[in-house]
Amino acid sequence: MTQRTELGKKGEDLACRFLVDKGYRILERNFRKPWGELDIVAKSPDKTLVFVEVKTIRQSKGGSELPDCRIEPEMQMTGAKIKKTKRAASLYAGAFPEKIEEKTGWRIDLVALTINEEDCLINHYENI
């Protein structure tokens, strides 16, 4: 397993724990089909079907040496990635309509993690 793959798995593990602690129920992880990939598929406390994209970075304790060069995991969620995620979520929702509550529907969230030697900063953005 590469360092990048290990970091991604660790980020997804932490994101799942974070979501479960918020009352979400994890339905699937790493759902892959020829038409796309979804990091996490979950049910929110209000029964909304949620497709969660996880972006993780590792940052040294001091951060970047350059003051204006702070890297945020949210920066990895590009327009192209949002488009791919929307497509995969839409196709998943069409393939599994029984998982969608009529009143709440579905949405896409982003969980962005910054991991350093001492702790982990987690930001959860709903309905991106």
Element (DSSP H or E) covering residue 87: helix 79-95
Residue range 69-90, pLDDT digits in tens:
567 899 888 999 999 999 999 9
Indicate whether 43 pLDDT > 60. Answer: yes
State pLDDT tens for residues 32-42.
988 889 999 99
Residue 105 contacts residue 49 (beta carbons within 8 Å): yes
For 109-117, what is the mean pLDDT? 93
Distance CA 23, CA 9 (A): 21
CA–CA separation, 23 and 47 (whole Å) = 10
C-alpha span between 113 and 123 (Å, rounded): 7
Phi, psi dihedral angles at 110 (to 5 degrees): -120, 130
Question: Which CATH number characterizes residue 88's domain?
Answer: 3.40.1350.10
- Structure tokens, 74: 């949210």
* Mean pLDDT value of segment 37-54: 97
pLDDT cut 70: percent of the chain above it: 91
Number of structural domains found in the chain? 1
**Interstrand relation of 106-115 and 49-58 (parallel, antiparallel or unpaired):** parallel
For residue 117, give its domain range. Answer: 3-125
Predicted confidence (pLDDT) per residue in 54-71, tens digit: 999 998 755 555 455 567
Put simply, whether the predicted model's pTM sits higher than 0.85 gets the answer yes
